[in-house]
Amino acid sequence: MVNSKFDPIIHAPNRLQICALLAPLDQVEFRVIREELDVSDSVLSKHIKHLEDVGYINQKKSKVNGRSRRWFHLTDKGRSSFELHVEELKRIVSDL
């Protein structure tokens, strides 16, 4: 039985980085993802929306010192797809 599955939604470089950043953590703020990926707000929003639409990530809004902040986390579905995708990448690399 193969425990790996290539996921074209996750494989896009920015989306892959978003999932990788969220994977070892519980929640990450929008600002932090933008800083780590070094992309603009609009580009990041587009990728986040894509991941949200397929149910891979969810967002929570909170207010800190009166300022609204958006926090993102991987859903169980997203985490499972990401792990299967990583396994598939490892399999591809080890095949050669």
Partner 1 sequence: MTEKKQIQTKEAQEALDSINEMKYAGLKRVLPTPISIWLGAILGILIGTQIALLGAEIRTYNTILIVLIVIMVIAIINKTQSTGVSERILFSKRTIIISLLCIIPLYFLSIISGQYLNNHFEYNWAPVVIGSFFTIGIWSLMIGASRSYNKKLNTSRR
Interface with partner 1 includes 71 (CB under 8 A)?
A: yes
| 41 counts as binding partner 1 under rule CB under 8 A | no
Q: What is the rounded CA–CA span in Å between residue 42 and residue 81?
A: 25
Q: Which two tokens stand for residue 65?
A: 């010192």
User: Which of 3, 26, 42, 66 is close enough to bind partner 1 by CB under 8 A?
Assistant: 26
CA-nearest of 37, 77, 22, 71 to 54 is 77
Joined tokens for residue 57: 């990530």
Total of chain residues touching partner 1, rule CB under 8 A: 29
User: Does 24 help bind partner 1 (rule: CB under 8 A)?
Assistant: yes
Minimum CB separation from partner 1 for residue 36, in Å?
5
Which two three-digit tokens encode residue 84? Answer: 């299967």
CA distance 12 to 84: 15
Residues found near partner 1 in the complex (CB under 8 A): 6, 8, 11, 13, 16-17, 20-29, 31-32, 36, 64, 71, 86, 88-90, 92-93, 95-96
